[in-house]
Structure 1
Amino acid sequence: MKIILAAPNFPQPRGNTVTVQRISDNLQKLGVETTILSTTGDAAAKPLPEADLVHGFHAYQFYQFMKKLAVPPEKYVVTLTGTDLNLDLFDKDKRKDVLSSLRGASAVHVFDEQAKGILVEELPEIAGKISVIAQGNSVFSEMDAPALKEPDTFLFILPAGIRKVKNVPEAIEMLAGLHKVKPELRLWIVGPVLEESEGEMVLRLVQKYRDWVSYLGQLPHSSMGSLYGQADVLLNTSLAEGQPAAILEAMGYGCAVLVSDVQGNNGIVSHMETGLLYKSPSEFMDYAELLMENSGLRRKVGMNAKKRIAEKHSGQNEAEKFLEIYNNLLN
C-alpha cells in the first residue's frame, strides 16, 4: 500500500510536521509505503506521485493544494489539525473551502469527541465518515541538552512556533508579574518565528526580561526530550489548538502542564488531575504560583499525566487505526 501524507509547511518545525512524521514512521513499521508532501510553497506545484490514497492534514490548506492540481485525487482522507477547525471553519472567507474539503473527503479524522461534535453541528451530513483518533506520542532517545537549567531555579518551558495564535507575549507578561515575588522563576521559549511582527514583539520582551527569560529559537524535534526532562512546568498559552504534540510529549515525561482552557488542550488535560487549565490571566498567575509552591501537586499531576499518555496516546495504536481506515476505503 502506498499512501501520500500531505501537510502544510513540511518540513518546517511545526506541530503538523511532528504529527505527520510520527504517523509516517509508524505506518512504515506496519509495512505501508509513505511519501510526505508539502501542500504549501514550491513543492505544492508538483504533480502527485503514484499512490493508493492521499491523506491531507489541515482541511483548508489541503483544499487550496487540491485546487492547484491538474488531476485531484479521487479519494482522500482529511485530518483537521487545529486552526482549520477552530478558526477557518468560522472565517467568512475560508469557511466555504473548509466545508468543500470535508464534503469531498472519503473519511474525516479529528483528535477528540469535542472536535467531532463541532463538525457534526456545522456539517451534520458528514457525521458517518468522521473518525476520532487521539494523537500518538513521540518517543525520544537520550541526547545532550541544548541548554541547562540553572541550579536553584524553577523552570517554565513554552514550546511554540511564534505566531499570534500562540499568545507568547501574554505568557511572558503574566510570568513577569509572578517573577517579582518569585525571583527564582525562569522561562525558556522554544520554537521558530513564524510571523515576523509577532516575533519582533517576543524578542523585545525577551530582551526586556533577559535576566530570567531565554529564547532558545528553533531546535531539532529530537532534542525536545532533553528539555522536557528539565522542565518543572510546561506551558501552552494558545488562543486555539488542535491537539498539541508538545503537551502530549511533556505529559509522557511526567511533567506538570499549565495550559489555556481551549478546545484541544482541554481534550487531553483534566484540571487538577493530569495538569492545570486556566481561563484568565489571574487564573494563570494563581495556578503558576501554586505549582511553584506545591511540589506534591506537580508530582501528582505529572504521574497521572504519564499514565494517561501511556494508556490513550500510543503511536502504534494511532497508526493501526489509520491503516484500518485506509483498508476500508481501498477495499
Structure 2
Amino acid sequence: MRLLFLAVLRPHTGNAVTAQRVRDHLEAAGHVCLLRDAFDFDSPAAVAALIQAEGLEAALALHLYRGGRLLRGHGIPFGVVFGGTDLNEDVHQGEKNQVMGKVLEEARFAVAFTEAMKAAAHRHWPHAKSKIYVQSQGITTTPDAAFRWDAFLQGAGINQSADNLHLFLLICGLRPVKDPLYLVDAFSEWHREEPSAYLVIVGPEVDPEFSREVRAKVQRSAGVRLVPEMRQGELHAVMKNCFALVNSSVSEGMSAAILEAMDLDVPVLARNIPGNAAVVRHGVTGLLFSDPQEFVQLAQRLIRDPALGGELVANGRKYVSTYHSWWAERDTYQRLVRTLQGDSDWQAADQRPR
C-alpha cells in the first residue's frame, strides 16, 4: 500500500523518533510510507490534494487532534496513535475532545502506549472501546562510538574529571509541559554543597518565548547547563556516560528517554506523574520524586549507594527487554495496518484489543 503518515516532526523530539521508527516498521512490510509533518497542512483540503496527487490508499496519524483530524472525510481508511498531548491536555478542551471523538469514529484502529492511556480513552470515548489496542513503545539505542565525552563536557563548561563527576541528564524539548526549570533552584543549591553534581538540560527550543526564559534562568544557576539539541546517536552516547537520567515533565504519554536510559544501563529519576509511573516502579526500575526537595534526597542516596544504582539498572534493563521489544512493536503495527487493506486476519489470529 501507499500510506500517508502524519505526525509532529520537530527535529530531535520523541514524537519525531517514534514516527520514524513506526515508518520503518511499515516500510519493512513492503508499504510505501509518506511521512509528513502535520503542521505543514492548514486544512483537510490540503491533505486531500496530497492524497490525490500521490495516489495514497490509506493513512496513519500520531496524535488524534494534531494529525487525525486532518484525515477525516477523505474516503481512505486510517488508523491513529494516541499522543500524550491528546489525553493529558487536549481532552480537557471541549471542542478538541469532540473532534478527537469524531476521529475515533472513522478510524479503523487506535493505539495507546499504556493500559492507563487506553483506560483514559475508554472514559472519554466509550464508543471506541473495541478498536483501541495497547502497544508500548519499542526501544533500540545506538550510541555514537566516535562520540567524545571529554569534548562534550568542555563544550558544556564542566571542568570535572570523569571519575569525580555526577552528571544528571534532562532530555526534553523546551516547552512548559516538560517543565525543565522545575528542579533548577533546588539543584543549584545542592551543587553549592556538592560541586561534583551537575544538571545538564539537552533539547530543541520548541517554544521560543519559553526557551528564552529557560536560557536566562540557567545562566543564573550554578551547576546547571543548557546544551542545544543533538543527533540521536550523540544523545545516546551522552546518556550512556551520564550518572542518571532525569524526567521532570508535568505530563507524559510514554517517555522514550526514560526507556532508552534503562536500555543503556543508566539509573532513572522521574517526576511522579501517571505517564512516568506507568514505566518506572519506584525503588525497582527507577526512582520517583514528587517535589524538588525529594529529588535532591533521592539523588544524594543514589550517589551514596552504588548498590542501589546497580539494582535499578539491572531491573530497568530487564523491564525494557521484556515489555518494550522493538520486534513486538514492529509486529503489532504491521498487523494493524493490514486492517487498512480490509484484511481480516488480525482478528482471526486472536489479536483482539487488550
What's the TM-score once normalised by structure 1's chain length?
0.92
The equivalent of 1:187 in structure 2 is 199
Name 1:202's counterpart in structure 2.
214
Is 2:220 the counterpart of 1:171?
Answer: no
Aligned positions of 1:35-114 closer than 5 A: 35-41=34-40, 45=46, 47-48=50-51, 49-66=54-71, 72-114=74-116
Q: Quick one: distance in 1 between partners of 2:209 and 2:177?
A: 13
In the alignment, which residue of structure 2 is the partner of 1:304? 315
The 1-side partners of 2:105 and 2:186 are apart by 42
Matched AA of 2:5: L
Give the whole-Å Cα distance in 2 for the aligned partners of 1:174 and 1:126. 44
Q: What is the match of residue 267 of structure 2?
A: 256
Post-superposition CA distance 1:114-138 (Å, at most 9, x none)? 1111111111111110000010113
1:4 corresponds to: 4
Match of 1:284 in 2: 295
Distance in 1, Cα, partners of 2:246 & 2:183:
9
The Cα of 1:64 is off from its aligned counterpart by 4.3
CA distance in 1, matches of 2:34, 2:245: 33
Deviation at 1:30, TM superposition (A): 3.4
**Residue 189 of structure 1 aligns to a residue in which SS?**
strand
Structure 2: how far apart are the matches of 1:177 and 1:91?
38
The answer to which structure has the higher helix fraction is: 2
Distance 1:42 1:131 in 2: 27
Indicate the larger mover: 29-38 or 13-22: 29-38
CA distance in structure 2 between the partners assigned to 1:32 and 1:264 by the alignment: 32
Contact 2:57 2:76 in 1 (8 A): no
Unaligned segments of structure 1, at least 5 residues: none
Which residues in structure 2 correspond to 1:135-150 (within 5 Å)?
135-141=137-143, 142-145=145-148, 147-148=152-153, 150=160
Q: Hey, what's the Cα distance between the residues in 2 that align with 1:174 and 1:247?
A: 22
Unaligned runs of 5+ in 2: 344-354
Using the alignment, how far apart are the partners of 1:105 and 1:42 within structure 2? 19
Cα distance in 2 for residues equivalent to 1:29 and 1:63: 23
- Give the whole-Å Cα distance in 2 for the aligned partners of 1:118 and 1:168: 26
CA contact (8 A) 1:178 1:289 kept: no
Once residues 334 and 194 of structure 2 are traced to their aligned partners in structure 1, the CA distance between those partners, rounded to angstroms, is: 50
Q: C-alpha offsets along residues 281-322 of structure 1, whole Å, 9 cap, x if unaligned? A: 332222222222221111111111112111211222101101
**AA in 1 matched with 2:60:** H
**How many residue pairs were aligned?**
326
Contact kept in structure 1, 2:25 and 2:333, CA below 8 Å: no
Shift of 1:224: 1.3
Tell me if structure 2 keeps the 8 A contact 1:27–1:320: no
* Residues 22, 315 of structure 1: 8 Å contact kept: no
Name the SS for the 1:3 alignment partner.
strand
Point out the more displaced range, 191-200 or 107-116: 191-200
Q: CA RMSD in A?
A: 1.9
Runs of 4+ in 1 over 4 A off after TM superposition: none
**Residues 40 and 65 of structure 1 are in contact (CA less than 8 Å); yes or no, is this contact kept in structure 2?**
no
Q: Secondary structure at the match of 2:152?
A: coil
C-alpha contact 1:193 1:199 (8 A) present in aligned 2: yes
Q: Secondary structure at the match of 1:60?
A: coil
Give, in whole Å, the separation in 1 of the partners of 2:55 and 2:309. Answer: 50
